[in-house]
Amino acid sequence: MARSYLKKAILTAVSDASDVHDTVSSILADIEAGGDAKALEYAAKFDGYDGNVVMSQAEIEAACALVPEKLKADIHFAHRNVRHFAQTQKATMQNVQTEISPGFIAGQKVIPVDAAGCYVPGGRYSHISSAIMTVTTAKVADCKHITACSPPRAGVGIAPAVVYAAHICGADEILAMGGVQGIAAMTFGLFDLPKANILVGPGNQFVAEAKRILFGRVGIDMIAGPTDSLIIADKTADPFIVATDLVSQAEHGYNSPVWLLTDDAALAEKVMTLVPQLINDLPPLNRDNALAAWRDYAEVVLCDDREDLVACSDEYAPEHLTVQADDLDWWLSRLSCYGSLFLGEETTVSYGDKATGTNHVLPTSGAARYTGGLSVHKFMKIVTWQRATREGSKEVAEATARISRLEGMEGHARSADVRLAKYFPSERFDLSAD
């Protein structure tokens, strides 16, 4: 049979961002021209906050003191896991060198960026885990300076648990500023901060657009859209767990797609019955988000078999991909387009979002077709170098001169010619393009 949609999305997560682009461009231009004062104007307008922008050590300590000991223990647990995984990733990146030809050596060197800007969302939810994911990873990469930036709440400031997480994970400065103005402050080096070499972390559509506009002047992790999640389930899956996991991701936002792919019609129908019931049991804000996401963006697809399930999943290229099916090793070997993969009901996207150590800053909107998520690698530059003996450069110089002349680049050719003339004055070389 052909694939059939038991539930089809009536909206997509891609929206017209022209108004957002114009608004963000204007704000960035204003702040770049007006500096600290203009950034503070926008902070007062959008954040409703008139407190200290760059938190002092005393303010950080006061905020940390407000965090309950049990929550501190959980933050440390997640921090240890994220740090451990990032250290494991870093171990895969090494300085290497090889002799390309006798006497000519080329190599690569891995160098961390100097300054990282980590944006931590703080609007609808206080993203403690985003502080852990971004700051820890930058710290493991050995960035010289890390700024954590998060929206303050009027009269309150940044949520104390976010401050605590950013602090213990290694932030050098904590900036109480949200949205475009926060991104601008880190990029332009306002408030005596070093200019960020890379900006990382999730955010709303204005933060995402600011990163898009600034990319090139500064590195970014990715341009993130609404979070999305896909579950592959076969007849062995537990419908209640499948439904619960779908709802857990739909609560991210009204436009956060969740998708179910299955080859079992009975399971699909059961899940579709359970999801509305589970949504209705959520707290009001979470319920509203999940209800809209399920109603407008969710899809349930009935596929032929597991080969078709793989093909269909790779077409979606989800940010989060869960497999609740038999023969997990087979799925691991076959699936190829996802931000992060969760195999079996014993794990779940929520684990990865909060505490297992793999990063939760992941590609959305199908970007998993060509990129992975945030990792220690994003904070490190792989650069190359070369050196040669005079004899080792001889063959390379001859080839360079001839190729350059064939391309019409005489200046390049002559940079090889002069070395041959200096190092081997008694020899004659055929360096023409013919």
Type and span of the H or E element at 313? helix 306-316
**Number of neighbouring beta carbons within 10 Å of residue 83:** 19
CB 220 within 8 A of CB 206: no
CB 185 within 8 A of CB 41: no
Query: Which of the residues 209, 252, 319, 360 is marked catalytic?
Result: 319
Total length of the chain: 434
- Please report, as a single letter, which amino acid is at residue 401: A
* Residue partners of 98: CB distance under 8 A and separation at least 6: 105, 106, 107
CB 138 within 8 A of CB 83: no
319 is known as an active-site residue? yes
CA distances from 384 to 221, 297, 396, 397, 430 (A): 22, 45, 17, 19, 30
CB 223 within 8 A of CB 254: no
The phi, psi pair for 127, rounded to 5°, reads -90, 75
Query: Which of the residues 320, 398, 410, 412 is marked catalytic?
Result: 320
Question: DSSP string spanning 410-422?
Answer: HHHHHHHHHHHHH
Question: DSSP string spanning 215-228?
Answer: BTTBEES----S--
d(CA 423, CA 285): 75
The phi, psi pair for 334, rounded to 5°, reads -100, -35
320 is known as an active-site residue? yes
d(CA 50, CA 63): 17
Q: Please state the separation of Cα 293 from the chain's center in Å.
A: 22
d(CA 33, CA 177): 18
- Please report, as a single letter, which amino acid is at residue 93: M
Q: Any idea which residues carry the catalytic annotation?
A: 319-320
